[in-house]
Amino acid sequence: MTDTMPNPKHHLTEELLMGYAAGTLPEAVNLIVASHVSLCDTCRAAVEAHETVGGALLEDVTEAPLAHDALSRAMATIHGTAPDARPIVLPSDPVVPGPLADYIGALDKVRWRPLGMGVKQAILDTSPEATARLLFIPAGVAVPDHSHKGLELTLVLQGAFSDEDGHFARGDIEVADPTVNHMPVADISEDCICLAVTDAPLRFNSFLPRLLQPIFRI
């Protein structure tokens, strides 16, 4: 059975943690960071530390006139209803973290689209600055080798995969940039389900994936 509170060995970068704490990340990136933070005590503590530092810095800011809706926005934030409020939601589902559940509900609600070789995806509805998708990779199957035009974040929700950067199990997040070229392979023991976020198209090394890339929006 999948452990609801794993012990991740692969974590977020300080830049992403700071961006999350400051509320400056695109929606899709914010979603995957929040999902990892809900599964990772280490990154959750780091976010709380950044938020504490940010609060201390605000205390030293020179006073300025408040906007007319400042009080209502502050109260909305306290009650978790402001558009940029980012409460840390701990997981209650054995696979789906709390922040992701707000987008998909449960896994049996996901409308998968086949990509070939048993691999499936479901693109989530987020703002256009970055794309979030669920990936289902059958046990033992490899994703075509590729590099990146931008940032690719991959959070393991079920099972595990391995690539040139190591072994990634539930709760682990891989941060890949244009310097990374890899071919993730799902462990043979269990189907792998991941949440993946990209802010630019991937660079596939083989012709067929490149040909199908516009159709599958990868």
Strand ranges (E), 15-149: 113-116, 119-123, 131-137, 146-148
What's the pLDDT at 32?
A: 98
- 53 vs 47: CA distance, rounded Å: 10
CATH of domain 14-102: 1.10.10.1320
What's the pLDDT at 218?
A: 78
CATH architecture designation of domain 104-216: Sandwich (2.60)
Three-state DSSP at 211 gives helix
Is the pLDDT confidence value at 130 over 60? Answer: yes
Query: How much is the average pLDDT of 93-103?
Result: 90
Is the pLDDT confidence value at 56 over 80? Answer: no
Q: Which of 51-60, 101-110, 146-155 has the lowest mean pLDDT?
A: 51-60
b/e for 183-215, b at 16 or more Cβ within 10 A? ebbbbeeeebbbbbbbbebbbbeeeebeeeeee
Summarised one tens digit per residue, pLDDT across range 9-33 is: 999 999 999 999 999 999 999 999 9
| Range list for CATH 1.10.10.1320 in the chain | 14-102
Query: How much is the average pLDDT of 58-72?
Result: 52
| Range list for CATH 2.60.120.10 in the chain | 104-216
Polymer length in residues for the chain? 218
pLDDT tier, 84 (very low <50, low <70, confident <90, very high otherwise): very low
Report the range out of 66-75, 86-95, 173-182, 196-205 with the highest average pLDDT: 173-182
Is the pLDDT confidence value at 187 over 90? Answer: yes
